[in-house]
Amino acid sequence: MISRLRTALVYVVLGLGALVMVAPFLWMFTTSFRPVAEAFTLPPRWLPGLGSSLESYRRLLSSDVPIGRFFWNSTVLATTVTLGYVATTTIAGYAFARLRFPFKNALFALLLVSLMVPIQTTLVPLFLLMRWLGLVDSQWSIIVPGLTGAFAPGMSGVFGIFLMRQFFLTLPKELFEAARVDNAGHFRTFWSIAVPLAGPQIAALSVIIFTTTWNDYFMPLVFLNSVDQMVLPVGIMSIRDPVGNSSATSEVIAAVSLSILPVLLVFLVAQRWIIDSFVRAGVKG
């Protein structure tokens, strides 16, 4: 009897908690569908119902806010950084796991050091460097470091190398010895044997890097300032009126809803896989 009561209590607590997690998103989507004049009237509505309108979206799309441009910039940036970062860290991870070369351990330890250096501490020189290279206000200022696997927005470079190295270490040596007997070159071995096997791990890393790059505010804030270079997080902040003037507010609500929509859709479709990706990385990290 007690235990049944306790189980019920646990479910109530879990359920309430889950509701708290989800409620802000419900509120936001519902508010974006309310007519602008009533959007913030209380009591709040949690689900869109009668009287829903697309007014706030229409306002957003007909305003001079280049939300499409923001989306495009975010997509291009996140995709390019992900491709470059995953490629570099996979091949480096493979080398650290499977190949022998001088100073291997010392170099790996050196790279691990980068885990301790948050980008916030190297911000000023990085900015000066990009300025000197003429890359400020160009996506390359974020893509190039990502391409070399130095870091991706919100993530240190060696994270990817570490992750891929861990994975390659778990593969049996025999696989690679066999290739060697056939006199396959090292790159060929990497490309035709290691990479296909690493599929899930590569996919998991890609999900993480894409997500953190898409969401990042800090790097684009510093390096991508002009309006047509802005990515979504920076763009949304630029249209937000801190005082809460209601006419701009509905555009902001619509914009935030649109920004979250892709993530939500992908999550609904692939949530097990996404969760597994993050767990896999977090546990190994």
Partner 1 sequence: MTSIANDAAAGWFSPQNRKETIAGLLFIAPALIGFAVFVAGPMAATVVLSLMKYDLFSNPSFVGLANFEAMLDDRRLWKVLGNTAFFAVFAVAGNVGLGVVLAVLLNRNMSKTVQYAYRAAYFFPSLVGLIFVAVIWQFLFQRDIGVINYYLGLVGIEPVRWLSSARNALWSVIILDIWKNVGFAMLIATAGLQSISKDYYDAARVDGSSSLRTFWQITLPLLSPTILFLLTMNTIGAFKVFESIVVLTNGGPGDASRSLVMYIYEQGFKSFNMGYASAISLLLLTITVIGTAIQFALSKRWAFYE
Q: Which of residues 23-82 bind partner 1 (CB under 8 A)?
A: 24-25, 27-28, 31, 40, 42-44
Minimum gap (Å) between residue 40 Cβ and partner 1? 5
Minimum gap (Å) between residue 50 Cβ and partner 1? 20
Q: Which is nearer to partner 1, 187 or 203 (CB)?
A: 187
237 is a site residue for partner 1 (CB under 8 A): yes
User: What DSSP line would sit under 96-137, residue for residue?
Assistant: HHH---TTHHHHHHHHHHGGG--HHHHHHHHHHHHHHTT-TT
Minimum gap (Å) between residue 64 Cβ and partner 1? 20
Q: Which is nearer to partner 1, 62 or 120 (CB)?
A: 120
The count of chain residues that interact with partner 1, using the rule CB under 8 A, is 95
Q: In the chain, what is the straight-line distance between the N-terminal and C-terminal CA atoms, in Å?
A: 43
Site for partner 1 in 248-277 (CB under 8 A): 249, 252-253, 256, 259-260, 263-264, 267, 271-272, 274-275
244 is a site residue for partner 1 (CB under 8 A): yes
Using alpha carbons only, what angle is made at residue 24 by residues 20 and 27, rounded to the nearest 5 degrees? 125
Instruction: State the virtual CA torsion across 182, 188, 192, 196 in degrees, nearest 10.
Output: 130
Minimum gap (Å) between residue 55 Cβ and partner 1? 17
Choose which of 236, 250, 251, 254 interacts with partner 1 (CB under 8 A).
236
Site for partner 1 in 118-177 (CB under 8 A): 118, 120-129, 144-145, 147-151, 157-158, 161, 177
12 is a site residue for partner 1 (CB under 8 A): no
Choose which of 102, 172, 196, 199 interacts with partner 1 (CB under 8 A).
102
Q: Which is nearer to partner 1, 33 or 94 (CB)?
A: 94
Cite the DSSP H helix spans in the chain.
2-32, 55-62, 67-98, 104-113, 119-132, 140-147, 157-169, 173-181, 186-189, 195-197, 199-215, 218-223, 232-239, 246-284
> CA-to-CA distance for 165 and 107, rounded, in angstroms?
14
> CA-to-CA distance for 77 and 25, rounded, in angstroms?
25
Q: Is residue 227 within 8 Å of residue 238, measured between CB atoms?
A: yes
